[in-house]
Structures are given as C-alpha cells and as structure tokens.
Amino acid sequence: MNIYVSNLSFAVTDEDLRSYFADYGDVSSAKVIMDKYTNRSKGFGFVE
C-alpha cells in the first residue's frame, strides 16, 4: 500500500519519514519528493 503524506516540514528526510511510520508496521520504502533544481523538499512524500 502506497500512502501519500503531505504538509511535511522542508527539513524532513527520507529516514525521518521512515522512522515516523515504523511504529505502525513494516516500512518497505519512504521517499520525500525533492525539487530537482533546488534539491529542496517539496513538502510531501510517500510511504510504502
């Protein structure tokens, strides 16, 4: 199941996102979407 997560702080990393959801079950992947030009978080991501 792929879960969309929005309203993230721009400081949140992939590992932060993974650790937030790890308490609720196995996390196979966690990805914060980054702007390809500025390399800054776009404020959303996905957890699977």
Write out pLDDT tens, residues 1-47: 999 999 999 999 999 999 999 999 999 999 999 999 999 999 999 99
pLDDT of residue 7: 98
**Which residues lie below 8 Å from residue 2, measured CB to CB, with a gap of 6+?**
46, 47, 48
pLDDT of residue 34: 98
Gap between the Cα atoms of 22 and 41, Å rounded: 21
pTM: 0.90
pLDDT of residue 22: 97
Assign residue 7 a region (left: φ > 0; alpha: ψ between -120 and 50; beta: otherwise): left
pLDDT of residue 10: 96
pLDDT of residue 48: 97
Gap between the Cα atoms of 24 and 42, Å rounded: 24
- Report whether CATH 3.30.70.330 matches the domain 3-47: yes
Assign residue 12 a region (left: φ > 0; alpha: ψ between -120 and 50; beta: otherwise): beta
